[in-house]
Structure 1
């Protein structure tokens, strides 16, 4: 076993694609070796990369494949040999294809009889001979949407390739990639290191590049960025805002990060902080500096890809490029304030939301009506909900949102506050867009949640009416995201909204959209580790609201941990099968006079007691208490099935026993279809 190093040196690779490209190359090389039977030691190996290189470093790779054994089955003996025991044309052809005389073939037996077989053992190929093919396959499998071609080459890569390092132990493996032959010469930092970097052995790689001012380990590079940015922010009395997405972009832009502290005119702080932060992070990849209260300060941190001898010049450059963007944001904000929220709202009449669904103003009117009707169920004043909904999309006509689309709702909050609207309305206009992304929280206020629910209901109902149901990866109106946002808001806020009634009020095809939302919930709970059997057990009962669905799901999870759960689930499954196969109508009432066995009498008494004990808990939706009480029925249920034959000859007794089982099944299924828990 010897370490293996592969490094592909390129022009600067696309930032967004870099981690994925590195992972794909790593996986492709590992899979290619494993597929060929070459033993490898991975330990904690991971993709290595920087803006100008992709690398794979494995601590141990075998020098060669193991022996390659093959077995090819030939014709059966009765076909292969004639009456005199001589080879037929079938056997001769098989032997010729195997490259041996027929007398050297072996025989084997299967369930059809004896047949000829060719077995061969060949030495394994040297890993060095296999690596060029492994590399070619790995590159072919990389997700490069728009390969670049350079020179006269027919094939392309993410960016032009300038060098190739391929070492197995201390030996260079001969290979060629895009006209570049492999050697042991890497390259250091473009500006801070002259000449090639000699790699004596794979184990020297990371340290050799570090000495050449390249941090090829993305984790090491990321840690240095965070450390330097935070230290720079502390030096000016603030705290750096380190957004994960922004950090990842910066990490893919630099090989040798160096933090530079910068500032801007305090007058720009009059602009909504979110606009300034968006400019710094999205447009310039800078890190804003906040005070202890989380407010923006007139400082930011840039990360250079060089240790400059004159950092003041880099600082000036960073400050110079950000000023025009800030000036634009201030201009847009001030012009929007002059225009006013009412004027912006009026402009929505001229903006088409969707050809079949009218203008944005039409959508606002629908959402306002829904919000007003939903409000009492969320504990909100209906008039307040209507007013907030009527203003919720006015900022789509603002210049600031036109320049910074990610400020939808945020800009509206500022404009509503400036217009003198109540604070809760201003906040709700912003919260209506929550959750904005997968890990985002739901709207924190009842009014914001009301707007979120109304907005998502209308979007889903309208999207399905207009024939925009998602297909495959296509979801132009983000209906999947809207369905999840609606479900999450109702579940996480514990809002008991009758989903069918709400969908009907929104003009939706209730069954179709409800099933769509249920599918989003299925993914939502699967990500939390909820077993699919438990989800389906609750889904089978068609709870009225997602919040009630959640309560039942948590109860069934506790029930599944009880020692009686498996047996009761199996019994309920058996009961359901019996009831489904029953012929004729099952009596509505159980007649104690028809009991012929003690076990059925005892089960009837136990069921009556359990129903009496759980009526209140069921009405109060204390599903944990309901299932806990029902679990105590197991002894009587077991005894019934051990001692009683349900399908008695006497039709009256048979019907009475079916009625008892129906009564039991109804209560066992009052929280969830527990039979789904039975394996």
Structure 2
């Protein structure tokens, strides 16, 4: 690259929305790199390995993203000072327009030539043809490129900023400019050279700004590579990764002093990093009397509203201490500490008031009020939903060995905490407060725990409910939600999923699979749909594209099938994350296991078996059989309904028949035990004929796999006698059925 130097672009603004900083900074860097590439300005690149890609690694521009509450910036390692030279086509009229009937240039072609300074005439013009997707056109190639970066950068910077994902642009001053926040300074450096440009009325310079309180003055940036250190000297950590590391270290330091373990997840860490440019942790405390309130409520308000870090003891109990992260290195931390303690006190006082008031009303007394809260207009109230879930939970509990009465009672209480003051203020505590109030009001620990576990898993990566009763409620709740919303036409479309049905479907599937609940998926959904009002079902007919001529039972059956497919589709990603190949998933799905637990067992057995060399041979044999049967079907010939022993003429056919019989019996026994690993291994077992004393196969290492190979070698399918031909096809069809007991190996 000619005269390549590092490039730095910084946009200095008012304080940015903390939830948008990371996205904006990443998008800004990406758009700048894309613009440089589209303008053919060379940059230093690095290889990037694409996940699960069979082709060589791609390449991307080497760059670093910087972001603080007051700035977004990108530093690109090396950028050329000018465009690369390239050739570009200049297109004129099409052949039909450029030549008349006699093949002579028309005025349109002559005008194109004159405009571009082409002196050629007649036949020379007729030879200037370029192939395009729309056909041949007159034209020529000219050398282009070579423009200086200083000339191109203003335009590409404007295009990059224009393309940023800004949800709510802000206007300021008396002009029409709009951006995420008002722009106050602009730094554009190519090496040590300022590239002059203007944006939103601000001209580019080499002056950034330091920390708003500790060094609020212009910061001279000597060159692009000196950016980070220049800002560090002005108490700004521009690198978000470095800032996050400093916060972790600061919080750990203060937590050790206070004798607690900090509860700071990635989401809180990101928020703290986007609120500070020079983070400093400060230890604080609160009145221990507030610990009478459930700690989930205290932690929720502390984190969500104040961005403070709670501290727990070694047993997971909350301590009357917390950590605030300030955006300043103060000479008097006491003032900041008192300020943090002062703002947390009214929050905790509100939580204690809500908790004390809620305890005065038993959960069951909220049931009547649930009838006044509409769930979905076509589906009725929250109390209607509670009744449906309670009945479904009672049925499920009876099938999995849980207490049916407990399940119905817990389901009738599960929505009651929605009407408490605490959940009204902190919706994220739904279920948690139900458990807390149930315990405080004398419900059994099993019932109380289920009121919380009904919402598990709450998010991707969360664990499922731990208790059987909680799993029963979780399954019933999600099955009713899917059934009701599909019935009224609420199925997600494209990227839109307003009712979070994809999450509900995956949560239902995970609870069944990981909880080992052996339930017929289609039957479960039919029972959930049976409880949906007929009027609601009719409302969703058009959206679901189900014929209104079908009776109620047929409508529900069609919906149950659709919901089951929707649930199973969610499992593709679930198993892909566990390293199970798509072909394995398709092979098992083809045999339509009745329960998700059974599907999971078959998948894991086949995934393990697919790593063995025998699997490839068996899959190849299955594909060969499937191809033969398909081709014969295309010719209008199907296998005989039953295998006729009298039509067997070749010893290899008899061997094949015996191998199939023995393998089928042993596979069926293994399947009844749900031992799918054994069932898959049987066709390749060389001891297959031990159960047939005195029988000797006409080949070594007798197995079903060896038998089918010998069958292909010695038996001709396409014989003239149609009865024999159809009988031999029947043997292949039986081979296919035996293998399909566990999975369709031809799909591997």
Q: 1:214 to 1:241 in 2, by over 3 A?
A: same
Of residues 606, 610, 629, the one that matches 1:556 is: 606
> Partner of 2:196 in structure 1?
174
Contact 1:537 1:675 in 2 (8 A): yes
Q: In structure 2, how many angstroms separate the alpha carbons of the residues matched to 1:468 and 1:78? A: 53
Equivalent in 512, 515, 530 of residue 562 of structure 2:
512
1:592 maps to which residue? 645
Residues 324-333 or 70-79, more deviating? 70-79
Give the CA deviation at 1:32: 0.8
- Separation (CA, whole Å) in 1 of partners of 2:447 and 2:45: 56
Deviates more, 1:118-127 or 1:638-647: 638-647
State the shift of 1:625 in Å: 2.0
Offset of residue 73 of structure 1 = 6.5
In the alignment, the residues of structure 2 paired with residue 588 and residue 604 of structure 1 have an alpha-carbon distance, to the nearest angstrom, of 15
- Equivalent position SS for 1:47: strand
Q: How much does 1:559 deviate?
A: 3.3
What's the CA shift for 1:579?
Answer: 6.1
Say if 2:378 is the partner of 1:356. Answer: yes
- Map 1:614-653 to 2 at 5 A: 614-631=667-684, 633-653=704-724
CA offset at residue 37 of structure 1? Answer: 1.8
| Distance apart, 1:316 and its partner CA | 0.7
Q: 1:117 Cα shift?
A: 5.2
Report how far residue 394 of structure 1 moved: 1.5
Q: Is 2:356 the partner of 1:338?
A: no
Shift of 1:193: 0.4
8 A contact 1:572–1:674 mirrored in 2: no
Paired residue for 1:268? 290
Specify the SS of the correspondent of 1:665.
Answer: helix
Q: Distance in 2 between matches of 1:206 and 1:452?
A: 50
Q: Find out whether 1:55 has 2:73 as its counterpart.
A: yes
Q: Deviations over 1:243-299 (max 9, x none)?
A: 211111111111110101110000000000000000110011000000011110000
Q: Give CA-to-partner distance per residue, 1:614-658, whole Å, 9 cap, x none.
A: 121111222222222235644333343344332322121012112
5+ unaligned residues in a row in structure 1: which ranges? none
- Evaluate the alpha carbon distance shift between residue 191 and residue 109 of structure 1 in structure 2; reply closer, same or farther with a 3 A threshold: closer
CA distance in 2, matches of 1:206, 1:661: 71
Match of 1:34 in 2: 37
* Paired position in structure 2 for 1:656: 727
* Counterpart contact for 2:129–2:140, Cα < 8 Å: no
Partner of 1:525: 575
8 Å Cα contact 2:130/2:139 also seen in 1:
no
Give the CA deviation at 1:88. Answer: 5.5
Deviation at 1:80, TM superposition (A): 7.4
Match of 1:70, SS? strand
Aligned residue in 1 for 2:305? 283
Q: How does 1:526-541 map to 2 (within 5 A)?
A: 526-541=576-591
Equivalent residue runs for 1:206-605 within 5 Å: 206-507=228-529, 509-563=559-613, 564-565=615-616, 566-578=619-631, 580-581=633-634, 583=636, 586-605=639-658
2:10 aligned with 1:10, yes or no? no
Q: Distance in 1 between matches of 2:634 and 2:104?
A: 65
SS of match in other structure, 2:63: coil
Give the distance between the partners of 2:476 and 2:100, measured in 1 at CA: 83
State which drifts further: 550-559 or 53-62. 550-559
Q: Go from structure 1 to structure 2 and tell me whether the alpha carbon gap of 1:662 and 1:83 turns closer, same or farther (over 3 Å shift).
A: closer
CA distance, structure 1, for counterparts of residue 175 and residue 595 of structure 2? 61
Could you tell me the TM-score, scaled by structure 2's length?
Answer: 0.86
Unaligned runs of 5+ in 2: 47-61, 530-555, 685-702
Q: CA offsets per residue over residues 580-621 of structure 1, 9 Å max, x none?
A: 436466433322331233443333232223213312111122
Q: Quick check: 1:392–1:412 contact (8 Å CA) kept in 2?
A: yes
DSSP-derived class of the 2:64 partner: coil
Structure 1 window deviating more from structure 2 (240-249 vs 279-288): it is 240-249
Structure 2 counterpart of 1:92: 110
CA–CA distance in 2 between the matches of 1:456 and 1:185? 57
**Equivalence for 2:743:** 672
Tell me how far 1:141 sits from its aligned partner: 1.3
For residue 97 of structure 1, report the CA deviation from its aligned partner: 4.5
1:594/1:270 CA distance change after superposition, 3 Å: same
TM-score, normalising length: structure 1: 0.94
1:118-164 alpha-carbon deviations (Å, 9 max, x no partner): 22223421122221122111111111011001112223100000000
C-alpha spacing 1:86/1:406, structure 2 compared with 1 (3 Å) = closer
- The size of the alignment, in residue pairs, is 677
Cα deviation, 1:304-348, whole Å, max 9, x if unaligned, reads 010111111111111111111100110111111111222223322
Give the direction of change, closer, same or farther, for the CA distance of 1:412–1:628 in structure 2 (3 Å limit): same
Could you tell me which residue of structure 2 aligns to residue 200 of structure 1?
Answer: 222
Q: 1:401-430: CA deviations, max 9, x gaps?
A: 111111100001111111121111111111
Does 1:146 pair with 2:168?
Answer: yes
Shift of 1:569: 4.4
Contact kept in structure 2, 1:222 and 1:251, CA below 8 Å: yes
CA contact (8 A) 2:629 2:729 kept: no
Q: Distance in 1 between matches of 2:522 and 2:106?
A: 75
Answer yes or no: is the 8 Å Cα contact 2:625–2:732 preserved in 1.
no
How far apart are 1:206 and its partner, in Å? 0.8
Aligned with 1:9: secondary structure? strand
Could you say what secondary structure the match of 1:339 adopts?
coil
Q: Deviation per CA, 1:148-183: give whole Å up to 9, x if none.
A: 011122231000000000011111111111111111
Farther-moved stretch of structure 1 (425-434 vs 117-126): 117-126
- What SS does the aligned partner of 1:647 have? coil
Q: Which residue of 2 aligns with 1:608?
A: 661
Are residues 585 and 285 of structure 1, via their aligned partners in 2, closer, same or farther at CA, if it must alter by over 3 Å? same
Distance 1:649 1:171, change over 3 A: same
Offset from partner CA, 1:12-67 (integer Å, 9 cap, x none): 00111111011110100011111122211255633210000000001111111111
> 1:449·1:489 contact (CA, 8 Å) conserved in 2?
yes
Contact 2:620 2:746 in 1 (8 A): no
Shift of 1:516: 1.6
- The alpha-carbon deviation at position 72 of structure 1 amounts to 4.5
CA deviations on 1:362-402 (whole Å, 9 max, x unpaired) are: 11111111111111333312122122212212111111111
| Counterparts of 1:130 and 1:556, CA distance in 2 | 57
In structure 2, distance between residues paired with 1:26 and 1:667: 57
User: Match for residue 157 of structure 2?
Assistant: 135
